[in-house]
């Protein structure tokens, strides 16, 4: 099981920022919005998001701007695999 310690300081900061963005805006941020918040290039944001996904903190859908989903790690620890999907649902 992954622990917060397995994230680099930058990954931890980005992950927390994404969680806060979702909570405040009821939708996930785009790569551009993350880059603007941290003053970094989109390619660096992609690398950070790939690391978070690989480590089991988020999931994403390819070629979708607002596709970041925070994985509910408490459910994973108890044997479930639910993800927290925030934001408007498509009908």
Check residue 82 and report its DSSP letter: -
Is 80's pLDDT higher than 60?
no
CA–CA distance, 43 with 45 (Å, rounded to integer): 5
Structure tokens at 91: 């009908």
- pLDDT computed for residue 21 by the predictor: 98
Domains of the chain by residue range: 7-84
Lowest mean pLDDT among 3-12, 19-28, 40-49, 57-66: 3-12
Give 68 or 63, the one with higher predicted confidence. 68
Q: What percent of the chain has pLDDT over 70?
A: 75
For the sheet with 58-59, list strands across it: 58-59, 69-71, 83-84
Q: Which residues contact 10 (CB under 8 A, 6 or more apart)?
A: 48
- pLDDT computed for residue 48 by the predictor: 98
Instruction: Supply the pTM of this predicted model.
Output: 0.76
CATH architecture, domain defined by 7-84: Orthogonal Bundle (1.10)
Q: Could you read off the pLDDT of 28-54 as tens digits, one per residue?
A: 999 999 999 999 999 999 999 999 999
Is 85's pLDDT higher than 90?
no
């Amino acid at each position: 099981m992954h622990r917060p310690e397995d994230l680099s300081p930058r990954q931890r900061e980005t992950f927390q920022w994404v969680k806060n963005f979702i909570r405040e805006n009821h939708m996930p941020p785009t790569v551009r919005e993350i880059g603007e918040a941290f003053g970094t290039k989109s390619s660096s944001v992609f690398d950070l998001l790939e690391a978070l996904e690989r480590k089991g903190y988020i999931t994403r859908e390819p070629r979708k701007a607002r596709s970041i989903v925070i994985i509910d790690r408490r459910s994973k620890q108890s044997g479930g695999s639910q993800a927290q999907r925030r934001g408007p649902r498509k009908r």
